[in-house]
Structure 1
Amino acid sequence: MPPAPRVYEHGGGVASVAVTIPDNPLGHTLVHVVDTDRGPVLVDTGWDDPGSWAELCEGLTALGTSVRDVQGVLVTHHHPDHHGLSGRVREASGAWIAMHAADIAVVRRTREAEPGAWRGYLEAKLEGAGAPASHTAPLRAARPGDYPLPRPALPDREIGAGELLDLPGRRLRAVWTPGHTPGHVCLHLEEAHPANLPGRGRLFSGDHLLPGISPHIGLYEDPDDAGPGLGDPLGDYLDSLERVARLGAAEVLPAHQHAFTGAGARVAELLAHHEERLTGLLALLETPLTPWQLAERMEWNRPWARIPYGSRTIAVSEAEAHLRHLVKQGRAEPVPGSAPVTYVACDPS
């Protein structure tokens, strides 16, 4: 007999279903189900996998509804553990799919990209970051079909920053929180907490605010843009954290781990963590380093030698995001004429 669906009742017409992310240490995505006067609306959907789809459907049944009753899907961001099953939900129910315009643009680029486009972009990006030939060799040897891009569902509605969403009987406002992705949104349920906890309503935080981990912050340049770009994802994330803290939410309902209170205290922890990390990186940058060399020296959840191939690519992107932020702050600078580009801490005097 299959295990019972992991369903959590949060009160006040809000519940969640834990949907497995296959072969991922995060374990699952918490798909939140919000009752409205027209029927249920989902916040995220989970990974596009047959077992995950079965869990979502069984969870909705356990809540006394079904996937056929879903009226809409609010996607916090475009990553496949959040947006993956949106298309299947729409096919089963006719539901609309809504996402911030910046992440809709990412979905559109992914759907329209030529075969091999991502491979070529990634190879050039890694070489520019100082990756060794041993790391880029699999990309150089790949055939066009070796790195197929998914075709995620194209959303049919945009979520506007600050928008009070059209959910009859509910008061749910979008809060644009770029950083983890350019179009990440949190959703603030501006209603009294069902258990009368102190604070202003509840916050569906996606990956932006999690109780025990910090989300990955890497660069989010357009693969069609050959230039270095001028974005500052880490700066965006830190600014967004402060914006969320000012909401004063009584409870946070994230997409991973578990619901929690004390949003302001958690934001303060994350801001302190990133400042401590930036300070540590400046100490490393007393000697000029490429992004790859910096990533090798940064502290991760395991030694660099034990980090697998794909995770090293992600780690280098995170190192680049931190470097970008330090350069924007005037605390580090590229070394003129270096190739690949190395960075060094600025003289504080």
Structure 2
Amino acid sequence: MTTPQVTEPPVIAHGGGVWSVKVPIPDNPLGCTLVHLLDTDDGPVLIDTGWDDPASWSTLTAGLGLCGVAVEDVRGVVITHHHPDHHGLSARVREASGAWIAMHEADASVVRRTRANPPERWYGYLAAKLTAAGAPAEHVAPLLGARDASRLPGLDPALPDRGIAPGELLDLPGRRLRAVWTPGHTPGHVCLHLEEAHPAGLRGTGRLFSGDHLLPGITPHIGLYEDPDDDTVTDPLGDYLDSLERVGRLDPAEVLPAHQHAFTDAPARVRELLAHHEERLTGLLALLCEPLTPWDLAARMEWNRPWAEIPYGSRTIAVSEAEAHVRRLVKLGRAEAVAGSDPVTYVAV
């Protein structure tokens, strides 16, 4: 008789009252979100929660059980940023436990606007943005169809009930967890610096829960901050580069990111990412020897596969990333928009 295999949720014990649970993200190449569990004198606290999906919820609750914690025991949830693979299950955790939810105000504002605006307004806004960026009609058409038919549900993320102030030492009895504001991936992204000696005695200043800001083997997406109610010209890439340098100066002994795996030598990884984006900017300047739209630029940039093989949703993300890099070049005085162009084109100066 064949013995059935029992698959347990993967849980990693990092020592010093810190664990991570690999919570799956459905149909996503990232695979999972590393939800971190932090033991405090007041009870367990989660850093992020994972995607709102039945399988993800089951994995989270089972994983907490392997750490000796019931979801009903959770006292608080600290959210690194508002994206659904991090904040998605926060409402269910709060419903099950009564836990508080903390988030930086800039991302809490995004959550409030997401809840307040009907889905068709978001689809119309994104369609207009893509059209202005030079996207062809066939790429914009699905968004217009969703806007007109309201076929797709809008997001309903949990409203946080606590803020996170930059530099704040969070009120977690028995722990020293300090918020480090790291905008770029989102306007209110925060890393969380555990200012305690590393349990294995590694050299450096504590441990850093880095969310999506600092990942060991992939480059976080840096696109435009989306807001149908605000036409402020932001500089997400500039924000990100500044935030990277701030984190590099912390020199943590170990980084506990929200994807992939824990790693050491944060300053070296920061240098790699700074060099990557400088190379991107240099490459875009070479392309902008002629006027190009952000869509044109995205189609010519180097990605992890040829443009023809990049799926629909990833193309939209790529265009936003191209725009963020062009906006940085414009701010630096190295590129400018061509007057009167529609859709807008840019050229190096």
The TM-score range, normalised by the shorter chain, is over 0.9
Query: In the TM superposition, what is the alpha-carbon distance from 1:325 to its structure 2 partner?
Result: 0.4
Q: 5+ unaligned residues in a row in structure 1: which ranges?
A: none
Corresponding residue for residue 197 of structure 1: 202
Write the distance in 2 (CA, Å) between the matches of 1:258 and 1:57: 21
Q: 5+ unaligned residues in a row in structure 2: which ranges?
A: none
Task: Output the amino acid matched with 1:28.
Answer: C
Corresponding residue for residue 18 of structure 2: 14
Query: In the TM superposition, what is the alpha-carbon distance from 1:134 to its structure 2 partner?
Result: 1.4
Query: Paired residue for 2:50, among 46, 50, 53?
Result: 46
Task: Output the amino acid matched with 1:168.
Answer: P
Corresponding residue for residue 218 of structure 1: 223
Say whether 1:69 aligns with 2:66: no
Contact conserved, 1:173 with 1:190, CA < 8 A, in 2? yes
Contact conserved, 1:119 with 1:147, CA < 8 A, in 2? no
Query: Paired residue for 1:247, among 250, 253, 260?
Result: 250
Contact conserved, 1:76 with 1:184, CA < 8 A, in 2? yes
User: Any idea what SS the aligned residue of 2:150 has?
Assistant: helix
Write the distance in 1 (CA, Å) between the matches of 2:6 and 2:295: 45
Give the % identical residues: 76
Corresponding residue for residue 347 of structure 2: 344
Query: In the TM superposition, what is the alpha-carbon distance from 1:2 to its structure 2 partner?
Result: 4.9
User: Any idea what SS the aligned residue of 1:341 has?
Assistant: coil
Contact conserved, 1:118 with 1:147, CA < 8 A, in 2? no
Query: Paired residue for 2:36, among 32, 38, 44?
Result: 32
Corresponding residue for residue 5 of structure 1: 9
User: Any idea what SS the aligned residue of 2:208 has?
Assistant: strand
Corresponding residue for residue 154 of structure 2: 149
Root-mean-square deviation (Å) = 0.9
Corresponding residue for residue 167 of structure 1: 172
Corresponding residue for residue 260 of structure 2: 257
Query: In the TM superposition, what is the alpha-carbon distance from 1:148 to its structure 2 partner?
Result: 2.4
Corresponding residue for residue 80 of structure 1: 84
Query: Paired residue for 1:329, among 328, 332, 347?
Result: 332
Write the distance in 2 (CA, Å) between the matches of 1:115 and 1:304: 29
Query: Paired residue for 2:297, among 294, 297, 303?
Result: 294
Write the distance in 2 (CA, Å) between the matches of 1:299 and 1:248: 31
Write the distance in 1 (CA, Å) between the matches of 2:347 and 2:195: 46
Write the distance in 1 (CA, Å) between the matches of 2:162 and 2:145: 40
Aligned length: 344
Task: Output the amino acid matched with 1:171.
Answer: R
Contact conserved, 1:115 with 1:144, CA < 8 A, in 2? no
Task: Output the amino acid matched with 2:320.
Answer: S
Query: In the TM superposition, what is the alpha-carbon distance from 1:133 to its structure 2 partner?
Result: 1.2
TM-score, normalising length: structure 2: 0.97
Corresponding residue for residue 184 of structure 2: 179
Structure 1: 4+ residue segments shifted above 6 A: none
